[in-house]
Chain A
Amino acid sequence: MRIKLKRLVSISVLTAIALTIFVIENQIPPLTAIPGIKLGLSNIITLFALVIMGPKDAFIILILRVTMGSIFSGQIMTLLYSMSGGILCLTAETILLKYLPFKNLWAVSVIGAVIHNTIQIAVAALITMTVGIFFYLPYLIIAGIITGAFTGLCVQLTIKRTGNTFKKILL
């Protein structure tokens, strides 16, 4: 029972942090006129949870954050894009983490971000029934590589500097 409660609290705390980052990031005006490009800082928490707590908890945190995030930001339509992109991105990252060592974590994050953006474009094309949206794909791939490397490095450096501290606190 004690372990279960601890897990519940850890998931709640990480979800709260991710949501806070998400809401604050939403206040930053969009940098470019291309839809879908943003820093995606709350993915730091998702990736962090994946490494420290495992895929199951990471998925719970991701789904909670995306659902509540789209309610808080007042745009229910973003739920579809973020959810489909986020889930496939996390699935890919889970598989990649099994085969790649910890020092390649940033690369895992880059591949995840690119997959996330590609899926989002595909969903947007399906919803709006416009194939022309795929012309944005090269922009979103470049953006995904840059933002993915940033979030991945954040997680990699945090875990490297803190060692086992977070594992002891959260697990």
Chain B
Amino acid sequence: MKNRVFIITFAVIIILAAAIIYFINNFSSNNSVIAEIVRDGTIVKTVNLNAVTEPQDIIITSEDGGTNTVHIEHNAISISEADCPDKLCVKQGRIQNEVYPIVCLPHKLVVRIIKSNCQTHSEVDTVTGR
């Protein structure tokens, strides 16, 4: 097959993927305020981020002894410290919606925000988009 065919196909895929990324990042959902900390498939802790007024830290220890410090703020959650080698979870920063979970693969830890069941959907003036 001609090389040009492949170049065009891959270029189209890259553009499509970039479009999907753009779409996901602009898809805001301000209703979600419940955060879940999941270790190895089981929920360790559930926090209502809307109710958090003072920032606080939670230390999560994994089975093999590794620790992650989860930083909780009003409507945002992040991992502030980890003793894994790559520290990708720390570099990912804060999350505020359910689109991207924070994942720490070495410690099998996932921090994610799930949609809240509050009736904010009916309150028209709470969500105006970003």
* Chain A residues packing against B (C-beta within 8 Å): 30, 33-35, 73-75, 77-78, 81, 100-101, 103-104, 106-107, 110, 124, 127-130, 132-133, 135-136, 138-139, 141-142, 145, 149
Contact = CB atoms under 8 A, between A and B. Distances in A.
Interface stretch (B49-57, B69-77, B103-111): B103-111
Contacts of A78: 105
Nearest to B6: A107
A34 B14 CA distance: 17
A149 B1 contact: no
Interface in B74-93: 85-86, 88, 91-93
B10 A130 contact: no
B10 A135 contact: no
A163 B28 CA distance: 55
24 contacts: A30-B88, A30-B91, A73-B85, A81-B105, A101-B1, A104-B3, A104-B6, A106-B3, A106-B6, A107-B6, A127-B108, A128-B40, A128-B41, A128-B103, A130-B38, A132-B100, A132-B112, A133-B101, A135-B100, A138-B24, A139-B21, A141-B14, A141-B17, A145-B10
B24 A110 contact: no
A130 B112 contact: yes
A91 B80 CA distance: 40
Given A34-B88, A104-B3, A141-B17, 13 more contacts: A33-B93, A35-B88, A77-B105, A107-B1, A127-B108, A128-B105, A129-B38, A132-B101, A132-B112, A135-B24, A135-B100, A138-B21, A142-B14
B10 A129 contact: no
B94 to A, nearest CB: 12
Nearest to B25: A135
Interface of B: 1, 3, 6, 10, 13-14, 17-18, 20-21, 24, 38, 40-41, 85-86, 88, 91-93, 98-101, 103, 105-106, 108, 110, 112
A133 B112 CA distance: 10
A110 B10 contact: yes
Nearest to B100: A135
A77 B86 CA distance: 13
Contacts of A138: 17-18, 20-21, 24
Contact of A33 (B10, B88, B101, B112): B88
Contact of B1 (A33, A104, A124, A133): A104
Contact of A133 (B40, B41, B88, B103): B103
A78 B105 CA distance: 8
A30 B108 CA distance: 19
A66 to B, nearest CB: 16
A101 to B, nearest CB: 8
Nearest to A140: B17
